[in-house]
A and B are shown apart, each in its own frame.
Chain A
Amino acid sequence: MKFLISLAFKNLTRYKRRTIITALAIAIGIAMYIFIDAMLMGAEYESVRNLKWYETASARILDDEYWEERYQYPLDLNISDPDPILERLEAEGITASKRIVFTGDMILSRAEFGEDGNIPVRVTAIDPSRDFDVFHFGDTLIEGRFLEEDEEAILIGSWFAEDIGASVGNWVTIITRGNGGFYEAIDLQIVGILNCPNPNVNRTLIMMPIKTADYYLAMDGAATEINIRLPDQAEVEQEIATIQGLLNGNGITVMSWETMAKDYLAIAEAKRGGTGMILFLIFIIAAVGISNTMLMAIFERIRELGMMRSLGMSDMKIRIAFMLEAAGIGLIGSTIGVIIGVIANYWIINVGIDFGFLMREMDIGYRIQSIFRGTWNPGTIAVAFFAGILISTVVAYLPTNRALKMDIPSCLRHQ
């Protein structure tokens, strides 16, 4: 065995260039695996964070029937008296804030925007004094100012502002339906522009003070939702059970962000499967490379093989010798791959890649506005390292087998 190992490693030095090229192919595969995994894990992590920070919060209290009808944004399925609930939550040390979410058409006038237009919009009416304790919009203002308690004003996302050509000071009209179904038109002035790191939000965000919305929509103090922020390390399920207890029914229910983001998480899961496919392909390519290299190595040495077989070396040992050689290439490749991967990770984790141009145009399912940053993932690095060696080794089996099928005289006669 010792001899086989030393022979395998010496054989590696035989065709240095080929060994290096093959090892590099494996290295690139492994580095890509490590890099892509770090990037996607990072993106996923940040996406989930941005989802919680700007869309779902940690948990949300809703009318029992609201979730079923959520795409209609019904105002009548509301929490009729949110303030006592907020007080109770506050007493428990839980940060929460109420909102009214409704849809309508935003009317853009020629006078303000150069041409007439209308777009369907979703408006989030917030409590300006408390909402930013729950959501993280507090540091996203890039122009203008935040909302005041009771004014006919809105904040909009910067991409949305770009899309409609709006700037601070412009007036818009929102045509919507109040609680009950009556038409209402609200004239609102854009007082601030927010640059939200969550592209889905930044593309559509319109925020107005809840008091103003309450008045126009005839909500009589009701809110459509209460959002809750739990500490990062909180046991969400457990907290939710506690909150549900506080609510003691009353036709309202509390949902965790995971339940609300089920679709998103399912897609993320599917995407992980899809990227698994990409990674699998990378490995296939590396495997084909090494199998080819080994095939060449074996057939170049077929007379030597004949010599060893005639001297009574068993097929098993010959197989082991070649597999060890492939393992050696795998080891070199894996080592280089891990080094490149780790260096690339340093970069993707600390600098990141700006995909802003892409994210601006379309929704690729990540809640990241521009810069994709990776995370360290030691498990993946270890897996990649050993997989590189293992796959190389296993893949050498077939060409070795082919050579061993030849009879010994043919091997010896081989040119």
Chain B
Amino acid sequence: MISIDQAVRNYQAGETVVRALRGVSLDIEQGEFISIAGPSGSGKTTLLNLIGCIDALDGGEITINGEAVSSMNKKSKTDFRRINLGFIFQTYNLIPVLTAYENVSFVLSLLDLPEQEVRERTMGLLKEVGLEGMEHRRPSRLSGGQQQRVAIARALIKNPQVVLADEPTANLDSETGEEILKLMKEMNRRHHTTFIFSTHDKMVMEYAERLVMLHDGQIISDERRQ
């Protein structure tokens, strides 16, 4: 479904060129629960950004559903993200003036769905991620874990093909982090959504069904587990 072929990404940092990805190749199937792991600066975020079509390749190619990302224009990338991709961020990135419900439902309103459907789906999903009764709280009245649950719901609400999560547990204590991972895994199983998440945390890697290790912009191992 996602095919990464010799992906190269260089950044210009002043005079020097940082080679963030130096030819990464990877194939990801629908429904995988995959972790991109590696030390800081190894290129995890860069790789996720490229898959998420919010960054551009300097070499190689990424093909999603048979379409080469490099051939998509800005609008089709935006459309692609709106319809097919969910994002989960380390810092949750919820809109503080909106309630949990609104933070999730606005994604659907971007898709111009009827109000009734938006309501039902949002309420249902919030319940699924364990936020029943907290729909009308604003982020400031939710714990870190609860906020990340809202973020998971936001990423899943449109039934995307892929959810990209850049260090989703890094801001949480290990217990909460584990809960979030369990939730993600459950969602993965239930909705058959592909999850790609990055981490440098050993414990988090444990949850992955497939673990891709990056080092200095290159894949050093790619193993399936369990």
Q: A residues touching B (Cβ–Cβ < 8 Å)?
A: 2-3, 7, 10-11, 13-14, 303-304, 306-307, 309-315, 317, 407-409, 412
Contact = CB atoms under 8 A, between A and B. Distances in A.
Contacts of A3: 106, 109-110
Contact of A311 (B91, B96, B97, B107): B107
Contacts of A304: 93, 95
Interface string B90-102: 0101011110000
A310 B110 CA distance: 12
Contacts of A13: 97
B85 A312 contact: yes
Nearest to B155: A311
Contact of A408 (B55, B95, B110): B55
A2 B45 CA distance: 34
Nearest to B108: A3
B82 A307 contact: no
A310 B54 contact: yes
B83 A312 contact: yes
Contacts of B85: 310-312
B89 interface: yes
Interface in B69-89: 75, 78-83, 85-87, 89
A314 B78 contact: yes
Interface in B13-28: none
Contacts of A412: 54, 89, 93
A59 B120 CA distance: 79
Interface of B: 45, 49, 52, 54-55, 75, 78-83, 85-87, 89, 91, 93, 95-98, 106-107, 109-110, 154
A7 B93 contact: no
- By secondary structure, the A interface counts as helix
A3 B91 CA distance: 23
Given A3-B106, A310-B87, A311-B87, A10 B98 contact: yes
A348 B45 CA distance: 64
Nearest to A1: B109
Contacts, number: 64
A346 to B, nearest CB: 37
Contacts of B52: 310
Given A3-B109, A311-B110, A409 B81 contact: no
B81 A7 contact: no
B82 A313 contact: yes
- Among A11, A310, A313, the one with the most B-chain Cβ atoms within 10 Å of its Cβ is A310
A-B residue pairs, 4 tightest by C-beta: A312-B82, A408-B54, A312-B81, A10-B97
A3 B55 CA distance: 28
A409 B86 CA distance: 15
B54 A312 contact: no
Contacts of B75: 314
Contacts of B79: 312
A11 B96 CA distance: 9
A309 B45 CA distance: 17
20 contacts: A2-B109, A3-B109, A7-B95, A303-B91, A309-B78, A310-B52, A310-B54, A311-B110, A311-B154, A312-B82, A312-B83, A312-B85, A312-B110, A313-B78, A313-B82, A313-B110, A314-B78, A317-B110, A409-B55, A412-B54
Contact of A7 (B49, B55, B89, B106): B106
A303 B93 contact: yes
A198 to B, nearest CB: 59
Given A7-B106, A317-B110, A309 B54 contact: yes
A310 B54 CA distance: 7
Nearest to A306: B93
Contacts of B98: 7, 10
B112 to A, nearest CB: 10
B49 A409 contact: yes
B119 to A, nearest CB: 13
A314 B79 CA distance: 8
A8 to B, nearest CB: 10
Nearest to B154: A311
